Amino acid sequence: MHYSKFSYDDLIESYANMIAYSGKVEPEIIQEIENRGGLDKFLRAIDNNKKHRVEVDRIIKEVFELSSDFKDLEFIKQFIKSDVLRHDDLNDLIERKFEEHQKMTADKKINSKTVFGSLLGILAGSLLGFLFLFLSTFIFGGIVSYLFFFVMFICYSSIKFITKQSRNNAVVYVVTFIATVISVLLSFIATGVI
């Protein structure tokens, strides 16, 4: 294999995979490691990557914990320090994870928009799901049970579009199930199954 074309990170990954799977390293990769500064330098790079990953995981955990209690990003930044990450990288990571946590929290929040949007979503989702199943009975000559998953997707998509919240929200999750059941029942009634 031509390891000379590998980036340093790809070389580290290949080396780690060989050690993990066979416990041995190909002579060609050892030669390329030697060409790039030697095994000691390479092993230090692996150790630094591991320390970097552990530090990033620690910071993410801290950001999530702090942003559960505090909503001020600048206030949170004061509490999180790192000896491994550069200041700019630390700030970027904190900002990204803070924003991610805020979006997750907003997605799970149940408010009047969620409730009214879900009710409207039941109507829209049930109607669209019913139309899909009703039309599919003419194509397939009857109701095909595996299409219920498509109906659930249609109902969920309608509700998500209206509420702007995902299945991580308890109301959206329950209302999706209700809309699916209504769609199926309406299809059974319309086709004479019930």
In percent, the amount of the chain with pLDDT more than 70 equals 98
Kindly tell me if the per-residue pLDDT of 6 is higher than 80.
yes
Using pLDDT thresholds of 50, 70 and 90, give the confidence band for residue 176: very high
Distance CA 127, CA 188 (A): 13
| pLDDT average, residue stretch 158-184 | 91
Q: How many domains does the chain have?
A: 2
Q: What is the pLDDT of residue 193?
A: 65
Instruction: Note if the pTM is more than 0.85.
Output: no
| Same structural domain, 47 and 99 | yes
Domain span including residue 15: 3-108
Same domain, 7 and 20: yes
* CA 86 vs CA 66, 102, 178: distances in Å: 21, 24, 50
Are 128 and 51 within one domain?
A: no
pLDDT tens digits, residue range 106-161? 888 888 888 999 999 999 999 999 999 888 888 877 777 788 899 999 999 999 99
Which of 66, 81, 108 terminates a domain? The answer is 108
Task: Specify the pLDDT at position 194.
Answer: 63
User: Is 172:118 a contact under the CB 8 Å cutoff?
Assistant: yes
Residues 99 and 116 both lie in one domain: no
Whether residue 20 sits in one domain with residue 85: yes
